[in-house]
Amino acid sequence: MQTMLTRLIVFLCCAWALPSVAQVPALRTAMAEFDLAYIPALAITNRQPAPPADLVQRAMARMNERWSAFRKNWANPAGARPDWKPGLDKIDGLIAAANKVVAGGKGFVAAHEELEGVRLTFLALRESAGIDYYLDRLTRFHDVMEEIHGVAKDKTAATLTDKDVAVIRKHFPDAQKRWGAVTASRPDAELGLTAEGEARHAKLVAGETQAMNALAQALAGTDRAALAKAAQSIRGPFAALYISFGDFAPLEMKP
């Protein structure tokens, strides 16, 4: 009797943890459609020198439209966990804060920082709901990659300290593990990669893999200049990979 009761409790918990099976593909499609517009807005607000204000505003307007549709259609999916609505409310606030910055016509990096929180919030919501999503693997890698890159940024053999090297060594195994999760998976079909997109994706993944291998080699040696360069070089290929999932065509530009 106790075993049956335990199984019933587990079943009910799992049923509450996930949207209904019939809904998951549609929800994943809606998330992907949002990301196609979100990624250009995220990328453009971080560009230096600052892009033209009208370009930023168009990118944000397109993202806002997609977000409004998502918010309307998925405000309360069947089986949603208690953290679903608060998560969407948090995204509302982050996007509103980014819109306020953009409306000011300058300082777009501050808008970018607000938008960074959007993908982190979606990551948490999907993890909570048990929804596997390729771009979340990239986000997980991004966080530890930035720890490594941030320590090495603008450093040379003379300025990369023992403490800096220790930080890189500390984070590198985690970065390798997270990057391995990326290379062991494929982009979700909902992200809509064409045959050309698949080929480009493979090339971009290979570029980041090469950068990670170069960092591993530098960590195995004693050349501080090589280590500083390798640690700095893991950011560029990754950024190109993540941005490649955005749809920049409506903005009449390439990533």
Provide the token pair at 146. 């930035």
For 189-201, write each residue's pLDDT tens digit. 999 999 999 999 9
Mean per-residue pLDDT, 36-44: 98
What is the Cα–Cα distance from 253 to 243, expressed in whole angstroms?
Answer: 13
Residues 8-30: tens digit of each pLDDT? 334 334 434 445 444 688 999 99
% residues pLDDT > 70 (the chain): 91
Domain 133-255: CATH architecture, name and number where available = Up-down Bundle (1.20)
Domain range summary for the chain, segments of one domain joined by +: 25-131, 133-255
Q: Which of 1-10, 60-69, 178-187, 241-250 has the lowest mean pLDDT?
A: 1-10
Q: For 218-241, write each residue's pLDDT tens digit.
A: 999 999 999 999 999 999 999 999
Mean pLDDT of the chain: 91
| Separation of CA 74 from chain center | 21
**Taking the CB of residue 138, how many other CB atoms lie within 10 A of it?**
22
Mean pLDDT of 72-80: 89
Calpha distance 235→54 (Å, rounded): 28
The 10s digit of each residue's pLDDT in 147-187 is 999 999 999 999 999 999 999 999 999 999 999 999 999 99
Q: What angle do CA 136, 11, 29 make, to 5 degrees?
A: 30
CA distance 19 to 31: 14
Indicate the pLDDT class of residue 3, thresholds 50, 70 and 90. low
Q: Which long-range contacts (CB under 8 A, 24 or more apart) does 187-194 make?
A: 187/134, 187/245, 188/28, 188/32, 188/133, 188/134, 188/135, 190/25, 190/28, 190/29, 190/31, 190/32, 190/33, 191/32, 191/35, 191/36, 191/134, 191/135, 191/245, 192/32, 192/36
What fold does the segment set 25-131 form as a domain? Four Helix Bundle (Hemerythrin (Met), subunit A) (1.20.120)
pTM to 2 decimal places: 0.89
